[in-house]
Amino acid sequence: MTLLNILQKIKKYNKGNYRQFSLCFAMSVMLVSALTLFMTSPFVMSRLPVGGDSRKMLYMVYAVAVIGCVLFTVYATSLFLRFKSREIGVLLALGTDKRTLTKTLMKEIGGLTVKIAVLSILAGAVLSFGIGKLYESMIQSAGGDHFGFSILGIGISVLFFLIVGAMIMMMTSRFMKRANVIEILNEERRNEPIKQQVGERYLLTGIICVAVGIFGGLVFRI
């Protein structure tokens, strides 16, 4: 049995932590992908005057959304690693080589993020297409063109995942470099106050409200 198999078995006892991280990362990638595909659509950009207030507003909303999603993902990753320290502490106490454990952990997290990112980009494309068609139905199209995606939008969506994914891997590597049994024991004694006061339904509701608010503002502003 390999070390990766052991981590997969331990994962069964820590499903909540994986679920929380996966949801946060998925929502970030999906929201940014949907915004990117919408704003880079030729149908949308052709109706925004260059240098006009509408285009500036769109860029501002996009920048705020990207920064917010990056910070949100960083925070979710820090929580994920904090609670995953239980597994790391057990394996280190049993004498597992830290270098081998680091490579295995990064392989596990890397595979997880790639799977989530692919599904999230596809979900973002579906969401963007729905919003785009709604916008198309509200705008008279004299030229007969229709809402569609651009290669630039797809490329930027993938680039966002690569950048955020690299940040997650760097945080994981940094976490493992300073990981030791004593530090992990001390880390486990620290409580996260927000977890005791706010449930998962608040997180999901907040994310949905933010997404609806941003897209609603874009549609009615444009």
pLDDT in tens, 25-55: 999 999 999 999 988 888 877 777 676 777 7
Q: Which of 30, 29, 40, 59 is nearest to 149 (CA)?
A: 40
Rg of the chain on CA atoms, in Å: 21
pLDDT at residue 141 is higher than 60: no
Segment among 48-52, 56-60, 78-82, 97-101 with least mean pLDDT: 48-52
Percentage of residues of the chain with pLDDT beyond 70: 73
Q: Which of 16, 4, 6 is nearest to 195 (CA)?
A: 16
Per the document, the length of the chain is 222
pLDDT for position 190: 53
Cα-based torsion angle of the residue sequence 198, 10, 72, 210 in order, rounded to the nearest 10 degrees: -60
Mean pLDDT highest for which of 70-84, 133-147, 187-201? 70-84
pLDDT for position 9: 65
- Rounded Cα gap, residues 209 and 57, in angstroms: 19
pLDDT for position 43: 82
Helix axes of 15-39 and 151-177: crossing angle, nearest 10 degrees: 150
Cα separations in angstroms, 76 against 18, 43, 147, 164, 214: 10, 35, 34, 12, 22
- Rounded Cα gap, residues 136 and 147, in angstroms: 7
Average pLDDT estimate for 117-143: 83
pTM score of the predicted model? 0.74
Phi and psi at residue 63, in whole multiples of 5°? -65, -45
- Rounded Cα gap, residues 215 and 129, in angstroms: 12
pLDDT at residue 142 is higher than 60: no
pLDDT, greater one: 51 or 216? 51
Average pLDDT estimate for 60-86: 88
Other beta carbons within 10 angstroms of residue 26's beta carbon come to 21
Phi and psi at residue 49, in whole multiples of 5°? -60, 135
Q: Which of 41, 49, 69 is nearest to 131 (CA)?
A: 41
